[in-house]
Amino acid sequence: MKTSLIGYPRVGSLRELKFASEKYFKNEITIDELHRTGADLRANHWRRQQENGIDFIPSNDFSFYDGLLDTACLFNIIPDRYQALELNPLETYFALARGYQGAQGDVKALAMKKWFNTNYHYMVPEVDDSTTIRLAGTKLFDEFLEAKQHNITTKPVLIGAFTLLKLAKYTGVKQADDFVHETAEAYAAVLKRLSELGAEWVQLDEPKLVTDLSKDDLVLFSKLYSRILSSKGNVKVLVQTYFGDVRDCYQELQTLPFDGIGIDFVEGKQSLELVRQHGFSDDKVLFAGVINGKNIWRNKYKNTLALLQELNGQAKQLVISSSCSLLHVPYSLQHETTLSDENKRYFAFAEEKLREFAEIKAILAHANPNSTELYIQNEKLFDGTRFEGNETVQARTVTLTDADFTRLPAFAEREAIQNAKFKLPALPTTTIGSFPQTADVRANRFAFKKGDITEEQYKQFNFDKIAESIALQEEIGLDVLVHGEYERNDMVEYFGESLDGFIFTKNAWVQSYGTRCVKPPIVWGDISRSRPMTVEYSAYAKSLTNKPVKGMLTGPVTILNWSFPREDISLKDSALQIALAIRDEVLDLEANHIEIIQIDEAALREKLPLRQSDWQSEYLSWAIPAFRLVHSGVQADTQIHTHMCYSQFSDIIRDIDAMDADVITFEASRSDLAIIDAINACGFQTEVGPGVYDIHSPRIPSVDELKQGLLRMLDKIDVAKLWVNPDCGLKTRGVTETWESLRHLVQAAKEIRATL
Ligand code: GLN
Ligand code: ZN
């Protein structure tokens, strides 16, 4: 049986591409040096795949920023404002990705969005009425030829026409349908060229096919591919799906003249059933996604072999594939010097997954697979328990009752009690938690981690910072203060480190977007809290002021969504364990006179299933209760806030309200305030703080501008429910702009208050 990879990570095992790109952006290296880094990485990745006997090795999975942006550029989808800069192709590309400010002009970057149900983000192609979609670039062909020079005939990969047209944004009157003809021609031209160059296969990625499809979508898909496939020459076309199953278009896939269909048997809940029920066309190759492209755990060969054996009976030609691109997993265990061997036995990052391909292939080539040493070794990994169980935690989760998820008294009664207690002015002002993480803050943390300063010195620095920021917040006149989050630089690592049950890697970076990578902690055991995590800092801040100080925590769903979860227990069970640990912290804060506590759920939406029919049953039905479990134990006069980093929740607005927080703050300054209408329409009970200015930009908003924003919100939102705050935390902002903006924010609130 042959093996195929959908894509390989691209930033380099030590993030070489990130560092080279950032140097290039700062003019520290030349464009040629950047290209050389890219070429070295590609060569290295191809070689590793070749060493592991991968038969279908992808090319063009490499990208300097994002694969969908590469596809847009290949097809000339570059809005005029970027063309007008008259930069060279790579600089134009970076202008689309990051914006451009310089001698040639001033343009913002394209919009960026989450790539399906991952934490990877793609650049949204922008199609104008004047756009002509045509084959204009060469990257795809160049990388195919480059691999050939290394004596490897790759399978070039490209985002498919349907996904491209569905994910693009249309700025004029023309819509996807109006571009069908030219798009199909452009893809046909790609196939022709690849055929001339001697490519045997091309992979067209169509992840959009695993989402809910309408009749119109199916028509669009069929129209595109009838044309594209009608003149494919000698090159064989693999339509590659991932992140779910293709229940809405299985028949179309079988009927259209594709040569191969890539189906995800890991995340595709109905994939196997679809093949069983409808069979698989004899003239097509089934690329079976059986090696998980998203998790970091070893593959269980017993299950994979059973699945492959069944599929072998259904499809005449079968290829072993990953479930999706390995882009979503870290590179290699090779650089993990601090993980124990016992831990490492269970992990498979990208390189180790390549070895799994080779091993499965070898096992299958054997007359009696189950008797092979490789198989037996793998079986051993899975017997016995590998995870550190904690009986107390398990007992706590199983004895939970409805009461544990219900905060009493109900919202309206609490609201009255809290109003009477806090006596905040109308339009209370606050911030989202963090203040600028200036160089001294980072240097302090770094010095402590390296052992250059004592814990006492480290803490004292943070205490001084807190004192400084409390004084400033008081001086500016904010109503609800925060301590500033100087003890941490992100939302998960700090809590993961303070909780039992997580382990950490040194280099397990995963690309989030462009040059940004994240290093998610790994859930290794049952999660519990052995000691308070934030009480000391919050209590210190509170001791300095008579104003309320908000405690600041990350919620269970966000912690889980930004970690690599266990697979032996459900996400729900892991979320409940984390919720109980955070609940302990909430109650400790309350006992230490912290009367307002914010529990951030920045990533609540991240793992929302791709199909709407699964939203409740697979996700919201436990994610929302997990949040409620965190705060249901507090007194009526303790005020619970939550925060989300986006305003995209009109479609789950009732679920957000059902989190039963007292106040929610969220991003709103960059959106069209549609969320405000939705809040207005559904009778949202939670008080709201839609961000009044964008913290992603160093701009200082004027008092007038902020007042206008607030007045627009007041049109729709009852004044008794409205809070005034920025969009998100201020950790990435400079000091001057931060305090100046907040001064304006308080001033705007005061001026409007005076007119009420
Ligand atoms: N409290 C966090 C902060 O202010 C929230 C960050 C976030 O929403 N991403 O930094
Ligand atoms: Zn945020």
Distance CA 188, CA 233 (A): 9
Quote the mean pLDDT of the chain: 96
- Write out the catalytic residue numbers: 696
- The residue to which tokens 């939550």 are assigned: 642
Amino acid identity of residue 440, one-letter, is D
Distance CA 382, CA 281 (A): 35
Could you tell me the distance, in angstroms and rounded to a whole number, from the CA of residue 60 to the centre of ligand 2? 34
The residue nearest atom 3 of ligand 1, judged by CA position, is 729
Residues 6+ apart with CB under 8 A from 17: 10, 11, 37, 38, 41, 64, 515
Residues 6+ apart with CB under 8 A from 215: none
Could you tell me the distance, in angstroms and rounded to a whole number, from the CA of residue 711 to the centre of ligand 1? 25
Could you tell me the distance, in angstroms and rounded to a whole number, from the CA of residue 276 to the centre of ligand 1? 47
Mean pLDDT of 255-263: 98
The residue nearest atom 4 of ligand 1, judged by CA position, is 729
Mean pLDDT of 409-426: 98
CA 307 to the chain's CA centroid: 29
Of 271, 326, 311, 304, the residue nearest 382 (C-alpha): 304
User: What would you measure as the largest C-alpha separation in the chain, in angstroms?
Assistant: 85
Residue 719 DSSP class: G
Distance CA 325, CA 21 (A): 22
Residue 330, pLDDT > 90, answer: yes
Distance CA 112, CA 312 (A): 40
Share above pLDDT 70 across residues of the chain, in percent, rounded to a whole number: 100
Backbone angles phi, psi at 551, to 5 degrees: -70, 160
- The residue to which tokens 């060229």 are assigned: 193
Of 619, 639, 621, the residue nearest 631 (C-alpha): 639
Pocket test for ligand 1, best of 469, 491, 599 (most atoms within 8 A of CB): 491
For the chain, the first-to-last Cα distance in angstroms comes to 74
Helices (H) and strands (E) in the chain, counts: 28, 24
pLDDT digit string, tens, across residues 682-692: 999 999 999 99
Pocket test for ligand 1, best of 119, 485, 487, 663 (most atoms within 8 A of CB): 485
> Taking a C-beta distance cutoff of 8 angstroms, is the pair 660, 411 a contact?
yes
The four Cα atoms 576, 581, 583, 588 give a dihedral, to 10 degrees, of 170
Q: How are beta strands 549-554 and 522-529 bridged, if at all?
A: unpaired
The residue nearest atom 6 of ligand 1, judged by CA position, is 729
Three-state DSSP state, 325? coil
> Taking a C-beta distance cutoff of 8 angstroms, is the pair 663, 414 a contact?
no
Residue 431 tokens, joined: 């911030």
Residues annotated within a binding site for 5-methyltetrahydropteroyltri-L-glutamate:
15-18, 114, 516-517, 562, 606
Pocket test for ligand 1, best of 431, 432, 435 (most atoms within 8 A of CB): 432
CB < 8 Å & 24+ apart, contacts of 397-403 = 397/573, 397/576, 397/577, 397/580, 400/576, 400/629, 403/632
Mean pLDDT of 245-263: 98
Backbone angles phi, psi at 9, to 5 degrees: -60, 155
Three-state DSSP state, 592? coil
Could you tell me the distance, in angstroms and rounded to a whole number, from the CA of residue 466 to the centre of ligand 1? 17
Strand order in the sheet with 317-322: 2-4, 317-322, 285-291, 260-264, 236-240, 201-205, 155-159, 58-59
Residues annotated within a binding site:
15-18, 114, 432-434, 485, 516-517, 562, 600, 606, 643, 645, 667, 728
Ligand index nearest the alpha carbon of residue 691 = 2
| Predicted structure pTM score | 0.93
Q: How many CB atoms lie within 10 A of CB 674?
A: 12
Share above pLDDT 90 across residues of the chain, in percent, rounded to a whole number: 92
Residue 387, pLDDT > 80, answer: no
- The residue to which tokens 């941490």 are assigned: 488
Distance CA 332, CA 7 (A): 15
pLDDT digit string, tens, across residues 610-621: 999 999 999 999
Query: Model confidence at 403, in pLDDT bands (50, 70, 90)?
Result: very high
Query: Model confidence at 289, in pLDDT bands (50, 70, 90)?
Result: very high
> Taking a C-beta distance cutoff of 8 angstroms, is the pair 427, 747 a contact?
no
Residues annotated within a binding site for L-methionine:
432-434, 485, 600
pLDDT given at position 259: 98
CA 183 to the chain's CA centroid: 29
> Taking a C-beta distance cutoff of 8 angstroms, is the pair 191, 237 a contact?
yes
Query: Model confidence at 388, in pLDDT bands (50, 70, 90)?
Result: confident
Of 742, 732, 741, 730, the residue nearest 434 (C-alpha): 730
Residues 6+ apart with CB under 8 A from 335: 13, 14, 506, 507
E-strand ranges in 603-703 read 639-644, 663-666, 687-690
> Taking a C-beta distance cutoff of 8 angstroms, is the pair 650, 674 a contact?
yes
Residues with C-beta less than 6 Å from any ligand 1 atom: 432-434, 485, 491, 552, 600, 602, 643, 645, 728-729, 731
- Partnered with residue 600 across adjacent β-strands are 554, 643
CA 320 to the chain's CA centroid: 27
Distance CA 279, CA 551 (A): 57
Can you tell me which atom of ligand 1 is nearest the CA of 554?
Answer: 1
> Taking a C-beta distance cutoff of 8 angstroms, is the pair 162, 209 a contact?
yes
> Taking a C-beta distance cutoff of 8 angstroms, is the pair 169, 111 a contact?
yes
3-state secondary structure 383-411: CCCCCECCHHHHHHHHCCCHHHHCCCCCH
Could you tell me the distance, in angstroms and rounded to a whole number, from the CA of residue 728 to the centre of ligand 1? 6
Query: Model confidence at 233, in pLDDT bands (50, 70, 90)?
Result: confident
Residues annotated within a binding site for Zn(2+):
643, 645, 667, 728
Distance CA 598, CA 408 (A): 18
CA 124 → CA 113, 169, 309, 743, distances in Å?
7, 7, 40, 35
Residues 6+ apart with CB under 8 A from 446: none
> Taking a C-beta distance cutoff of 8 angstroms, is the pair 192, 233 a contact?
yes
- Partnered with residue 155 across adjacent β-strands are 58
